[in-house]
A = this chain, B = another copy of it.
Amino acid sequence: MDDHFLPIVRTVAALRAHLAIWRERKQTIALVPTMGALHEGHLSLIRMARAQADKVVASVFVNPTQFGVGEDFDRYPRDEAADARLLAAEHCDLMYAPTAADMYPAGFSTSIAVAGVSEGMDGDFRPNHFAGVATVVAKLLIQAGPDVAIFGEKDYQQLAVIKRLAKDLDLSVEILGAPTARANDGLALSSRNAYLSGAEW
């Protein structure tokens, strides 16, 4: 790992100020939305983003609205310093780490539903999950206005929801899916693997 400098911004205004400079220079931008706790799977998305655009932005935001009651929002792993080191080592150009209070200020009232692809499978077991995902991803895409955004194919239904959403809302972004990174034993890499004991793994 070298000491590549990674700027971190926390507000939409700071994010847009950064991006405006790149846009002025006609540089293309790829966004990789994450919930942090980065692992090799995320880093493969960052590398794919590098190949797609001049500049790579990673967002790190554990989105409360996509966790259901009794799900793992409170214990979801968070280590921003480690995330920043990993992103810097991949020569990511900008980390966007907004606070929940900035993403959902008092009075926030808007929710985006994507019918069809949100139904069945995960959508049946986690009733508001995909509305939470669709709303936060729409916000991130509108905030950053990237040329390309990259999501893992691991969360396959989520990827379908996001592709549908981007098309339906006329967002001028290309949504790309990235192949699932796996451990040597075949387990799909996931931040939630931290919950598994050796025997479960």
Contact = CB atoms under 8 A, between A and B. Distances in A.
Interface stretch (A73-81, A108-116, A146-154): A108-116
A145 B139 CA distance: 15
A165 B16 CA distance: 19
A99 interface: no
Contacts of A165: 110
A10 to B, nearest CB: 14
Interface residues of A, number: 25
Contacts of A117: 109
A16 B172 contact: yes
Contacts of A16: 172
A159 B180 CA distance: 44
B171 A142 contact: yes
B164 A110 contact: yes
A27 interface: no
B108 A110 contact: no
Contact of A115 (B12, B111, B113, B143): B111
A86 to B, nearest CB: 27
Given A112-B112, A139-B168, A139-B170, 9 more contacts: A110-B112, A110-B113, A110-B114, A110-B169, A111-B112, A112-B113, A138-B169, A142-B142, A143-B170
